[in-house]
Amino acid sequence: MSNYLIYFLVAVGLFAFAALFALFGVYAERKISAYIQDRLGPTETGKFGTLQTFADILKMIQKELIIPAKADKWLFVLAPVIIFVAVYMGFAALPWGPGLVPSKINIGLYYVFAIISIETLGILMAGWGSNNKYSILGAMRSAAQIISYEIPAGFAIISAVMIAQSLDLQVIATQQGVASAETVKFLGFWDVTNIGGILSWNIFRAPHLIVAFVIYFIASLAEANRAPFDIPEAESELVAGFHTEYSGLGFAFVFLAEYSMMFLVSMIGVVLFLGAWNTPLPNIAGLRLADWTTGIFWGIFWVAIKSLALVGVQMWIRWTLPRLRVDQLMNLCWKVLTPLAFACILISGVWRLWLM
């Protein structure tokens, strides 16, 4: 019985985290975009406008949930829920600290990628159910884009998995620090098992994973429908794409899913390439920085900081780069990222055989 209570608590906690992060993320995005464009952003609600997003969500909750007369009611109402739940369930397998993971499953990475693919289904449902030409165009673009970009993202991930030899995210995380049970070599020649820190992160264990990380990061932007790959919601062409017809809570859920997805893909990137919950500080002789800064709370701190930094980069990119055209999008995916990701897999294999 108490087991189930814990499950509920974990689920509620993750939901609260996703919601709070979305509020914080929207505020951060508005401020960052404002400063990049030499504006001020929200300043009036609360100190420095910090309560702006709380005010926004209060307003949004009170709004009417409008269902267009010609919409397919079932699909229309279910779609935002499916979009959000697909992303939300992805959080279940992500490790937050040593021994701290909501659901310990040995194929965690596989599960996460399987479950967030379902978001495409939700987006298609939203587009079709809205009975609106802009929505269906946006949904079709989204499906084409997400399915295409899963290939380079998947291969980049496989190259990391080949180095780690596990699909269990907690195992992958543990390998990249002082807690590792096996020997960790910096660039394949220097044994840093007891030094840890930034030196034992995956991108430094095998330097070609830096390329794999960049490929994964670009592909993850496309999977989260973020600029410069936001053609599914392309405001200048498609009004708001697949969520054109949504209002009130339905829209809030789509928004929540977008920001949760941003954090989720960043966190997967952190776990696979950037040392997960491990500290970036290495042990230097008597100065046991890595040992001191490893633990459950340090783990949560590091993984959150790293993920938030990646989310910050996502926002920075969004407010800098213009949107790609559909053909450019596909060119980038199939002609650049996919071959490079293949090369990464090949190097991973060679690296594993000869240097580890």
Partner 1 sequence: MFKSAINGLTTAWKGMTLTVGHLFASKKTREVTRVSDDNYFKRLEGTNTIQYPKQQLPVPEVGRYQLDVEMDDCIVCDLCAKICPVDCIDIVSIKATEAIGQTSDGTTKRLYAAKFDIDMAKCMYCGLCTVVCPTECITMTNTYDRTVFELSDLVYEFSDMTKEEADEKRMLLEKQNAEKQAAKLAAMKKKEEGQ
Q: Binding residue for partner 1 (CB under 8 A) from 24, 301, 319, 342? A: 319
- Please answer whether residues 152 and 146 qualify as being in contact, where contact means their C-beta atoms are separated by less than 8 angstroms: no
Output the smallest distance, CB 143 to partner 1, in A. 25
Binding mask 287-316 for partner 1 (x = CB under 8 A): -----------------------------x
Does residue 60 touch partner 1 according to CB under 8 A? no
Tell me how far CA of residue 59 lies from CA of 120, 137, 223, 252, 254, in angstroms: 28, 29, 29, 11, 16
Output the smallest distance, CB 309 to partner 1, in A. 13
Per CB under 8 A, the segment of 7-15, 72-80, 118-126, 318-326 that binds partner 1 is 318-326
User: Residues 146, 152, 153, CA angle at the centre, nearest 5°?
Assistant: 70
Q: Binding residue for partner 1 (CB under 8 A) from 9, 16, 20, 35? A: 35
Does residue 326 touch partner 1 according to CB under 8 A? no
Instruction: List, in sequence order, every residue forming a beta bridge with 97; answer none if it has no partner.
Output: 100
Does residue 40 touch partner 1 according to CB under 8 A? yes
Cβ-based neighbour number of residue 313 at 10 Å: 13
# chain residues binding partner 1, by CB under 8 A: 17
Q: Binding residue for partner 1 (CB under 8 A) from 187, 336, 346, 350? A: 336
DSSP-H helix ranges across the chain: 2-36, 52-62, 73-90, 108-129, 133-164, 169-175, 202-205, 208-223, 235-238, 248-273, 289-292, 296-318, 326-331, 338-355
- Please answer whether residues 176 and 184 qualify as being in contact, where contact means their C-beta atoms are separated by less than 8 angstroms: yes
Does residue 7 touch partner 1 according to CB under 8 A? no
Output the smallest distance, CB 196 to partner 1, in A. 30
Q: Binding residue for partner 1 (CB under 8 A) from 6, 39, 334, 355? A: 39
CA dihedral sign, ordered 14, 16, 22, 24: negative
Per CB under 8 A, the segment of 10-18, 36-44, 178-186, 231-239 that binds partner 1 is 36-44
Token digits of residue 38:
């030499």
Does residue 3 touch partner 1 according to CB under 8 A? no
Does residue 15 touch partner 1 according to CB under 8 A? no
User: Residues 258, 260, 264, CA angle at the centre, nearest 5°?
Assistant: 115
Q: Which residues bind to partner 1, rule: CB under 8 A?
A: 32, 34-40, 43, 316-317, 319-321, 332, 335-336
